[in-house]
């Protein structure tokens, strides 16, 4: 995927920045998709991409998803994302994250970031040494800490909307849920499902994550390639994106797809329709997984956990509205979500303009 202006035009991006620091070995890409509603907010993930093209494709798709996520859940924020090319188990260092933080500082508030796949609060703390334009900080620095539990809470609220719509049930108790990925968010999704009395089948490429989840929740484990074929009520993708495609969708034996992973559909149009044709209700990923975004965004105005939980509960109502639009207009749920987001962007903003976050307006409720 060679970057050119035609590609940026096609995907609707405003800016793509390549970051390289030879001293620390940093190789990163920051993509700002749309700042019509406000400065771009999106996490940074660290992943050992096989090629730079793969990293570019990922950051472009993820940043576009953040635009739709912010718009769909009513946030006054734009969409952006960052990726660091590297192995989070071997390549992390203070110098690397401080160098990345310095690049973010140079953007002067156009892009605000936090943790994503392969990152944790310690990495954000290093970035914070160079820039204020980060969220997901520890409570000691006025942040909200790890956003994973809040993302998982939003996913469970979304599952409740799905089972009410599809299965005519008010509870997850007794339902079988296949959780693909037991890392940061997937672990907390499994924990909440366990507390609610659901039966869980899980998988992860990380043996440590599998062992931990099995020990704590008694999860039945299957191989990463077998998870698509298990009989369940809900299939919950909580790992990487692009996993719902022409090869995997025919394997599914579920009534609902509802999980935390970003960009779950390999091809939005064809794969969204394929799920609908099979009678599977799909919870659009950027709506059901918005809990983390809502949570960290509140750090910018002074974090309140109580307010965060109230706002994240609205994911239940957002999905109900999307399912209503889907039925009323005879369109797939992911298209209904897109329409909701696009209409808000068009109504709220008359012009495309750059937004900059004034540091003096960032409030940190330090302990």
Asked if 124 contacts 100 with a C-beta cutoff of 8 angstroms, the reply is no
Beta bridge partners of 78: 40
Asked if 332 contacts 326 with a C-beta cutoff of 8 angstroms, the reply is yes
Distance CA 292, CA 151 (A): 4
Residue 6 sits at φ, ψ, to 5 deg, of -65, -40
Q: How do the residues of the chain divide into helix, strand and coil, expressed in percent and rounded to 5? A: 45, 15, 40
In the Cβ-directed half-sphere of 271, how many Cα atoms lie within 13 Å? 20
Give catalytic residue positions. Answer: 81
Taking residue 366's Cβ as centre, other Cβ atoms within 10 Å add up to 11
323: left (phi over 0), alpha (psi -120 to 50) or beta: alpha
- Residue 342: alpha-carbon gap to chain centroid: 19
Closest by CA position to 232, among listed 201, 276, 273: 201
CA distances, 60 to each of 15, 57, 92, 335 (Å): 10, 5, 23, 19
Residues contacting 271, CB < 8 A, separation 6+: 244, 245, 246, 249, 265
Closest by CA position to 227, among listed 179, 191, 190, 194: 179
Distance CA 325, CA 45 (A): 33
Give burial (CB, 10 Å; 0-12/13-18/19+) of 155: buried
Buried b (16+ CB within 10 A) or exposed e, 36-69: bbbbbbbbbbbbebeeeeebbbbbbbbbbbbbbb
Distance CA 161, CA 149 (A): 19
Distance CA 56, CA 46 (A): 13
């Amino acid at each position: 995927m060679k970057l050119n202006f035609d590609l940026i035009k096609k995907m609707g991006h405003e800016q793509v920045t390549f970051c390289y620091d030879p001293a620390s070995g940093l190789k990163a890409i920051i993509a700002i998709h749309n700042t019509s509603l406000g400065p771009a907010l999106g996490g940074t993930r660290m992943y050992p991409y096989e090629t730079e093209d793969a990293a570019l494709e990922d950051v472009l798709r993820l940043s576009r998803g953040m635009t739709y996520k912010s718009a769909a859940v009513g946030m006054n924020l734009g969409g952006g994302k960052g990726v660091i090319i590297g192995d989070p188990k071997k390549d992390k260092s203070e110098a690397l994250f401080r160098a990345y933080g310095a690049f973010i500082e140079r953007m002067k508030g156009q892009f605000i970031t936090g943790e994503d796949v392969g990152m944790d609060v310690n990495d954000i703390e290093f970035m914070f040494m160079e820039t204020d334009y980060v969220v997901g900080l520890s409570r000691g620095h006025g942040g909200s800490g790890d956003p994973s539990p809040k993302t998982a809470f939003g996913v469970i609220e979304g599952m409740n909307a799905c089972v009410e719509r599809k299965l005519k049930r008010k509870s997850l108790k007794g339902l079988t849920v296949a959780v693909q990925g037991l890392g940061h968010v997937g672990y907390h999704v499994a924990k909440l499902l366990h507390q609610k009395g659901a039966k869980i089948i899980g998988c992860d490429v990380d043996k440590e994550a599998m062992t931990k989840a099995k020990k704590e929740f008694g999860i039945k484990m299957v191989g990463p390639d077998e998870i698509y074929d298990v009989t369940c009520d809900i299939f919950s993708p909580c790992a990487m994106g692009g996993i719902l495609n022409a090869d995997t969708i025919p394997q599914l034996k579920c009534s609902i797809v509802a999980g935390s992973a970003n960009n779950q559909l390999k091809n939005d149009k064809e794969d969204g329709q394929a799920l609908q044709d099979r009678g599977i209700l799909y919870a659009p990923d950027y709506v059901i997984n918005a809990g983390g975004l809502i949570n960290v965004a509140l750090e910018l105005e002074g974090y309140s956990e109580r307010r965060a939980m109230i706002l994240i509960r609205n994911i239940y109502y957002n999905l109900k509205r999307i399912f209503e639009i889907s039925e009323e207009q005879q369109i797939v749920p992911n298209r209904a979500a897109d329409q909701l987001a696009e209409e808000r962007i068009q109504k709220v903003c008359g012009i495309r303009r750059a937004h900059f976050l004034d540091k003096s307006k960032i409030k940190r409720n330090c302990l």
